[in-house]
Structure 1
Amino acid sequence: MSRPPLGRVIAETRRRRGYSQTRLAALLCAAAGVTTVTRHEVSRWERGDRLPGAQWLAWLALVLDLPPARLAAAARPLGLPAPADSVTRLHQLAEQWLRHTVNSDVPPDASWDPSDRHAVRHLARPRHDGGGVTELDRQIAELRRMDDLVGGADLAPIVHRRWQQAADRLHRARGADRRRLLRPVTELAQLAGWTATDAGDRPAALRAYRAGLGLAVEAGDAALGGHVLGAASHLLCGTDPGAAWRLARIAAAGVRRAGSPGLRALLAHRAALAAARAGDGRAAADGLLIARRLGDRMRPEQEPSWLYWLDQAELAAMAGRCLVVLDRPVRALPLLEQPGRHRPRRGQPRTRAVYAGWLARALLGVGEVEQACAVGADAAVEAVRAGSARAAEQARELSVRLAARPQTRPVRELSELITQLTSYLPGSSTRLGVN
């Protein structure tokens, strides 16, 4: 089910509260201590002619008694969430993948849509480069190193182009050549989906994940298929946590026999975060417990090459962000502040921006407002350096939460900084007619 636009949320909630537009404007001005919002501005918000900025979103949440996250989600550009039919199709494919995985001697059933199973056939077909699988593996390793340093806004077009080239080779290959190409092209599909997500292009990401899932089935690689579904779950977690939760659970069930401890721990974290965002604290806590037990068994040298980035510090940070969503900031803080997160690889701008945003939210949760503002300023700057929609979203979420706080000097300065930087962030809602 698609989310309603922000204007309709404001109008419907205002009417339920019995407020006129004039009354709502007066309440907002009283809460914010200013006189700049009028009935005409409220009317423009409700018609969708303008979008309120982050601070007014926070005051709207306070006056209308709505969750800030709901208003922040409704304020996102309408093109960002994945179309509902695409999500439904992905779930259907995931269920078929699971049936095929648990009965690996049975081929995919007739309802497995060839247009999804071989979605790469519909890509553009550039000139054949004549290289071998070894060269393709080298290219994948190079792209993964680039993903550690470059955000999706810059990297996604490059990855997509490499994926097109590899998909074209796969389409023409036969027999043993095709079998050798299947796994690397599946990896490229997963990476194309991941970088498209980081660029804020959810429809493109879903297309890549659907193609990758079909290729994983043909390759007979249940673990890689589970990884594709885990990445898709992470894509949907912010806008459709229920759908994300179902995908993560399907992925976990499919890799129960073939998955390494690290992969299974990662999928448990995907499920826990989605459950927390969906409001199921018990399921989220169960997922965190499973992830911790599996993580204790993880040996990095025995994990698949595409999980090179997963280590104990990363698993701890994942647990920390889930605890922030569960409103348990005291438990989250030591996990998000682990010294191991300051190793060189952790200096990657997107990683620093994303987890600094979560750390700032945890600090706000325990009342350390000034420290949260200092960390949040670093996160906002790193978000711009990263060119990452994921990092940008953290800056927006933090801005909404700050606006509901007493406007001390650190809060004002950080709010102004985020406002100044917003136009540089991928997927920004700041455009003509937006304040």
Structure 2
Amino acid sequence: MSRPPLGRLIADTRRRRGYSQARLAALLCAAAGVTTVTRHEVSRWERGDRLPGAQWLAWLALVLDLPPAWLAAAARPVDRPAPTDDVTRLHQLAERWLRHTGHGDAAPGESRGSSDRRAAGQLDRHIAELRRMDDLVGGADLAPVARRRWAQAADRLHRARGADRRRLLRPVAELAQLAGWTAADAGDRAAALRAYRAGLVLAMEAGDPALGAHVLGGASHLLCEADPGAAWRLARIAAAGARRDGSPGLRALLAHRAALAAARAGDGRTAQDGLLVARRLGDRVRAEHEPSWLYWLDQAELAAMAGRCLVALDRPARALPLLEQPGLRRPRRGQPRTRAVYAGWLARALLGVGEVEQACAVGADAAVEAVRAGSVRAAEQTRDLSVRLAARPQTRAVRDLSELITQLTSYLPGSSTRPGVN
């Protein structure tokens, strides 16, 4: 049985306890030591006109004696989920792609005219530009740019013929992958899946199984939380298709995608097996032998992905040394999203070993970087941490972090998906 939305959960629990809206407002004010919540505010929460901030979710959990995770799940900002049919179609396409990889060869190189070279060179420059921007800008800002670049390139590909078309296939497939990645980072799962599906078709036509596997890896990461079973299947299909032509880095990345999906699904044995495979492959990674679209994958990133999976497996002590690397707190490319995401996982690991004050300090960094990044994925890490800390409102560091997150809520990507937040 699915849990009710936040407004209904508050109203039903309030009635079971015999509280009026005015009584609940008075109890919340007494618990928080303020006088800012009125019956009208409680009414707006229950109707869904406004969404309580992290601080009031914590006090609601205390006053109504509800598990904080229930309130957090009900209060999750509304995003645009991936329709089930879209996931099914992508899975069917992935199986067809896997059969194709056993027979397809890379498109033959042919002589190209000057117009062909200019068009391909322009797309390569667009790809390089988007990659640089992705290091600094989150999906909330970058997704429209990537989508526009991809649409323009797809239109050019549609009009191309013969050798011109074959030369454009790979760069347009890469642009589709970038459009899918940035849409996912913006919280638009349906748009991301459409882009990934198009990218997989183009990679298949180009005879590039490694790029196709990378596209499927991105789709797996997108679905990991909402549908870990589907995410695991896509990662395993991608790994099978990349077994012959995939670089060690790509295969290690896909092993990590599968391991995290298994951990999210509660399959610890499969997740641990995936981490072992990823570690063996990761030891063989050499940057000069990896495809250009894996420029960001290095040993620090591989270790951090292992740490993230260990946190999901509730092994925080083992995860800490992997997530405490200096390179993750100050990546060489200075990406705020990387800092925000892995700081969120580090804070969870610290919380898991009882280091509440440290977790709050790291969580504050994650919250600020999430705003800087403009990344829905990073913002979700911040929201998840605030929920986990909500059960400890008596701790000064928790109250300070809750206040900070409350102040930042309106700036976090995805906060505008509900009518109001306070």
TM beyond 0.5:
yes
Tell me, yes or no, if structure 1 residue 97 matches structure 2 residue 94: no
Identify if the C-alpha distance between structure 1 residues 369 and 267 changes in structure 2 by more than 3 Å, giving closer, same or farther. same
AA partner of residue 303 (structure 1): E
Q: Is 1:341 the equivalent of 2:328? A: yes
Q: Does 1:53 align with 2:53?
A: yes
- Alignment partner of 2:338 out of 344, 351, 373: 351
> Which of 110, 124, 135 in structure 2 is aligned with 1:148?
135
User: Is the contact made by 1:140 and 1:188 (CA closer than 8 Å) also made in structure 2?
Assistant: yes
State how far apart, in whole Å, the 1-side matches of 2:273 and 2:300 are.
20
- Cα distance in 1 for partners of 2:154, 2:207 equals 18
Alignment partners' CA distance in 2, 1:289 and 1:196: 31
Which structure 2 residues correspond to residues 358-397 of structure 1 after superposition, within 5 A?
358-397=345-384
C-alpha distance in 1 between matches for 2:60 and 2:265: 22
Q: What's the secondary structure of 1:22's corresponding residue?
A: coil
Counterpart in the other structure of 1:304: 291
Measured in 2, the distance between the counterparts of 1:284 and 1:41 equals: 44
Give distance in 1, aligned partners of 2:93 and 2:12.
37
Identity of aligned residues (%): 80
Match of 2:209 among 219, 222, 247: 222
- Which residue of the partner structure matches residue 111 of structure 1? none
Equivalent in the alignment of 1:418: 405
Deviation readout 1:278-322 (Å, 9 max, x if unpaired): 111111111111111111111111011100000110000001111
Rate the CA distance shift 1:261–1:337 in 2: closer, same or farther, 3 A.
same
1:329 aligns with 2:316: yes
From 294, 306, 313, give the equivalent of 2:281. Answer: 294
Say which SS state the counterpart of residue 332 (structure 2) adopts. helix
Please give the alpha-carbon distance, in whole angstroms, between the structure 1 residues aligned to 2:178 and 2:294.
Answer: 12
- In structure 2, the CA distance between the partners of 1:187 and 1:165, relative to structure 1 (3 Å rule), is same
Note closer, same or farther for the CA distance 1:399–1:182 as it changes in structure 2 (3 Å cut).
Answer: same
C-alpha spacing 1:67/1:380, structure 2 compared with 1 (3 Å): closer
What is aligned with 1:108? none
Report what 1:402 is aligned to.
389
Question: Cα distance 1:38–1:421, how it changes in 2: closer, same or farther (>3 A)?
Answer: closer
User: Which residue of 179, 186, 199 corresponds with 1:212?
Assistant: 199
How many equivalent pairs are there? 409
Partner of 1:136: helix, strand, or coil? Answer: helix
Aligned partners of 1:254, 1:9: CA distance in 2, in Å? Answer: 46
3-state secondary structure, aligned to 2:244? coil
Contact 1:148 1:345 in 2 (8 A): no
In structure 2, how many angstroms separate the alpha carbons of the residues matched to 1:93 and 1:73? 32
Against the structure 1 CA distance between its residues 21 and 143, is the aligned structure 2 distance closer, same or farther, given a 3 Å change threshold? farther
Give the letter aligned to residue 76 of structure 2: R
In structure 2, what is the equivalent of residue 6 of structure 1?
A: 5
Q: Highest relative contact order (Cα 8 Å, sep 6+), 1 or 2? A: 2
- Alpha-carbon shift at residue 357 of structure 1 (Å): 1.1
Residue aligning to 1:427: 414
Aligned to 2:111: none
Q: Pick from 154, 158, 178 the counterpart of residue 145 of structure 2.
A: 158
Matches of 1:190 and 1:313 in 2, distance apart? Answer: 23
Gaps of 5+ in 2: 106-114
1:169 to 146, 156, 159: 156
- SS class of match (1:189): helix
8 A contact 2:32–2:59 mirrored in 1: no
Confirm whether residue 78 of structure 1 aligns to residue 78 of structure 2. yes
Task: Work out the CA distance in 2 between the residues paired with 1:9 and 1:167.
Answer: 45
Unaligned stretches of 5+ in structure 1?
106-127
Displacement, 1:347?
Answer: 2.1
Kindly indicate whether the alpha-carbon contact (under 8 Å) linking 1:329 and 1:363 is maintained by their aligned counterparts in 2.
Answer: yes
Contact 1:56 1:403 in 2 (8 A): no
Q: Which residue of 2 aligns with 1:22?
A: 19
